[in-house]
Amino acid sequence: MRISVEEVFETVKMTIEQNFDIRTVTLGVNLKDCMDRNPAAFNRRIYKRLSEMGKRLNQCADQLEDKYGIPITNRRISVTPVALLIEPLPRKISTVVSVAKTLDRAAKTADIDFIGGFGALVHKGMTKADELLIDSIPQALSKTQRLCGFLNLASSRVGMNMTAIEKVGHIIKDLAASSKNGIGCAKLAVFANVPEDNPFMAGAHHGIGEPDFSLNIGISGPGVVRDVVANNPKCDLTMLSEVIKRTVFKITRAGELIGREMADLMGIDFGIVDISLASTPKRGDSVAQIIEAMGVSRMGRPGSTAALALLMDAVKKGGAMASGNVGGLSGTFIPVSEDAGMIKAVRTGALNLEKLEALTSVCSVGLDMFAVGGDTPAEVISSIIADELAIGVVNNKTTSVRIIPIPGKKAGQIVHFGGLLGSAPIMKVPKTASPNFIKRKGRIPAQIQSLRN
């Protein structure tokens, strides 16, 4: 792929003035061949592999930052879903927690920002190992700093595992109570239709269809797109879509270049470019502000869903034209705590949980990084998860939930997480939802595929 001098200068301008960056380089690592019945031997093997490969990832990322002048903000590792790896190990929570601590220690040794894959795919049913891993989540994620977890609870092919969804509501409550300001819950995402090549945390994992190693890139340029939209205030929406599409094409080209070169440096397979627009608390680095630059008076007010749908479509078309390796989530994140525009929308009353859920029907992921009161019952959390995953199942798309119950906080208050996690206004949710529905458990069957109306 040939990159022109003009494109290089344009990308440098985006980096300096509009917060463009490579949001993450994520090294996927297969750990299946490390499996062992002896926990100590297993932990030794995974620590050695991950710490060595993590250091190599950082070295190559530094080299490419110096070469191109484009920041690579986060360096991450994703591993084979841990529920598969613990199958031969003794069936004890303490054993699973020791694995979690080993993963975290390897990431710290290699100076890796996050390591993902502490999770299970239980969309149709749960093995004993799956249940053990889920039960260990409150301890594992509260006693580690860099480890992230995921659970796939539903898919369009098999439906929704309501037994697991009911269980996870209680797990999230326990995790919130075990960690300061419930921050452990920010490291756990639950999914419908989880992709196995996702470079973004908390849902990243190295899927069973992946090679031994792969290098996935997550690019992000909401500041770039916002400026382009703001500089075209009078064009119609058809032309605006074209402008966004061309901009995303350019930033995807930069991600493809760096991803391929980095994979070559490491001597591994290049995986995918994830073209998601991911917000940060930085000024101007907001997806909500893109929507408002289009002419919507405040994110969450009427018109927001249509504007977000236009943005999503343009992002995907621009990225797909720029690279044959687009994958992962690829779309637009609308996290509440990490996006200054979303925070403002909640605090001014323009955005509530119901409208946020409606927005997720057209966005990339789902109900992401939103906080609720610490007294929210587990069945309400499970019901919120069920509603969101149903959107993914019916529409054959990825949806997820990262909900953070904040102990001691109530609706209208705000909690400050700091760093990339930003600040979260506590959103109002019902104190009673659907206890009798959730307690039925079982599985909601998959939707019929031939009748799509």
How do the domains of the chain map onto residue ranges? 24-192
The pLDDT of residue 281: 65
For the segment(s) 24-192, the CATH number from 3.65.10.10, 3.40.50.2300, 3.20.70.20, 3.20.20.210 is 3.20.70.20
Query: What is residue 247's DSSP assignment?
Result: H
Confidence at residue 16, expressed as pLDDT on a 0 to 100 scale: 45
Q: Please list the residues that pair with 150 across neighbouring strands.
A: 119, 189
pLDDT at 141: 96
pLDDT of 20 reads 60
Is the CB of residue 363 less than 8 Å from the CB of residue 312?
yes
pLDDT of 410 reads 87
Alpha-carbon gap, residue 322 to 250, rounded angstroms:
7
pTM of the model: 0.91
> In 3-state terms, the chain is what percent helix, strand and coil (to 5)?
45, 20, 35
CA-based R_g, the chain, Å: 21
Identify which of 218, 215, 194, 196 has the alpha carbon closest to the alpha carbon of residue 205.
Answer: 196
Give the per-residue pLDDT at 325. 85
pLDDT at 330: 83
* Residues in the chain, pLDDT under 50: 1, 5, 16-17
* Closest to 275 in 3D by CA, of 256, 294, 297: 256
For the beta carbon of residue 410, count every other beta carbon within 10 angstroms. 12
Helix (H/G/I), strand (E/B), else coil: 114: strand
Token pair for 173? 């409550």
Rounded to whole angstroms, the Cα distance separating 145 from 107 reads: 10
Residue 164's pLDDT is what? 97
Burial class of residue 434, CB neighbours in 10 A (0-12, 13-18, 19+): middle
Are 342 and 375 a contacting pair, CB within 8 Å?
Answer: no
Residue with the two structure tokens 């000024």: 283
Preceding amide of 202 cis, omega within 30: yes
Task: Select from 260, 276, 263, 258 the least CA-distant residue to 327.
Answer: 276
